[in-house]
């Protein structure tokens, strides 16, 4: 598929799953209280706080505004709830962390060279991840290998649909302006690869260090990295 476009998952594909769980989530948990206390008056943070408070219980609603936001997000993070308000606020907190240099986005060592090679071969690259578009852009802009965003021509998140739903892949191909048959989706999750194939894309599974094991005998090609793609 030398002329095909590449649509890439992040966690378990370009980036260690542990980066999200060992770096990003703990950073958000640690930084949200001081961040909302310091920035509650800005419209961007204020709007994210309004969104978070839509998920507040009656008891939480009785707290002062900043305390309520801290309490709701702490509860949601402990339960790994993917709420829109929490995701929006986490994105703003991560931006603060990346821009201050406290966080650098993890990418596997072959990723920068692969991006450069694909770009050199005029193979467009886009990202499809459950992390928000802002979180995706931050990770690649402030990566351990420098700014990789010049290589990326599209960012898609679950506002394009669920990753295990074939319709999402058609929505993304249409938005990106690429026929499904010209796109190879790379992921670590079999059900996502199957959904992409159902939509008419090619799919490849990545078996990165730290990924959970994949069953044997899969009908999808499995690669250890991007070097042969
Ligand atoms: Mg993944």
**Cβ neighbourhood burial of 201 (10 Å; 0-12, 13-18, 19+):** buried
Q: How far is the CA of 200 from the centre of ligand 1 (A)?
A: 20
Give yes or no for a contact between 192 and 221, defined as CB atoms under 8 angstroms apart.
Answer: no
Give yes or no for a contact between 187 and 9, defined as CB atoms under 8 angstroms apart.
Answer: yes
Q: How far is the CA of 189 from the centre of ligand 1 (A)?
A: 6
Residues of the chain with pLDDT > 90, as a percent, come to: 92
What tokens were used for 213? 């094991």
Q: Which domains does the chain have, with CATH numbers?
A: 5-16+106-223 (3.40.50.1000), 20-99 (1.10.720.60)
Mean pLDDT of 97-120: 97
Which pLDDT tens digit goes with each residue over 44-56? Answer: 999 999 999 999 9
**Cβ neighbourhood burial of 28 (10 Å; 0-12, 13-18, 19+):** buried
Does the pLDDT of residue 3 top 80, yes or no?
no
Q: How far is the CA of 3 from the centre of ligand 1 (A)?
A: 24
Terminal CA-CA length for the chain: 8
What DSSP element (H or E) covers 92? Answer: helix 84-99
Closest CA to 27 of 74, 90, 117, 115: 90
Q: How far is the CA of 187 from the centre of ligand 1 (A)?
A: 5
Beta strand spans in the chain (E): 5-8, 125-128, 152-156, 183-187, 202-206, 221-223
| Residue 131: per-residue pLDDT | 87
Q: How far is the CA of 99 from the centre of ligand 1 (A)?
A: 25
Q: How far is the CA of 25 from the centre of ligand 1 (A)?
A: 16
Rounded to whole angstroms, what are the CA distances from 207 to 61, 204, 219? 45, 10, 15
Which pLDDT tens digit goes with each residue over 74-105? Answer: 999 999 888 989 999 999 999 999 999 999 99
What tokens were used for 212? 């959970």
Does the pLDDT of residue 133 top 70, yes or no?
yes
Which pLDDT tens digit goes with each residue over 144-188? Answer: 999 999 999 999 999 999 999 999 999 999 999 999 999 999 999
When the pLDDT of each residue in the chain is averaged and rounded to a whole number, the result is 95
């Amino acid at each position: 598929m030398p002329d095909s476009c590449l649509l890439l998952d992040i966690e378990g594909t370009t980036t260690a799953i542990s980066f999200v769980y060992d770096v990003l989530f703990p950073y958000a948990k640690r930084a949200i209280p001081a961040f909302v206390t310091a920035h509650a008056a800005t419209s961007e943070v204020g709007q994210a706080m309004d969104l978070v408070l839509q998920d507040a219980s009656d008891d939480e609603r009785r707290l002062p505004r900043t305390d309520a936001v801290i309490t709701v997000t702490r509860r949601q993070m402990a339960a790994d709830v993917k709420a829109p308000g929490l995701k929006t606020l986490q994105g703003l907190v991560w931006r603060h962390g990346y821009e201050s240099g406290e966080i650098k986005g993890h990418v596997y060592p072959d990723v920068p060279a692969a991006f450069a090679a694909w770009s050199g071969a005029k193979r467009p690259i886009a990202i499809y991840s459950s992390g928000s578009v802002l979180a995706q852009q931050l990770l690649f802009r402030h990566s351990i290998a420098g700014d990789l965003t010049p290589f990326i021509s599209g960012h898609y998140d679950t506002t394009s649909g669920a990753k295990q739903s074939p319709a999402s892949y058609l929505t993304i191909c249409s938005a990106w302006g690429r026929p499904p048959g010209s796109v190879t989706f790379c992921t670590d999750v079999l059900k996502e690869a199957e959904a992409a194939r159902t939509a008419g894309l090619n799919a490849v599974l990545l078996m990165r260090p730290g990924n959970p094991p994949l069953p044997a005998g899969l009908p999808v090609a499995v690669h250890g990295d991007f070097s042969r793609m």
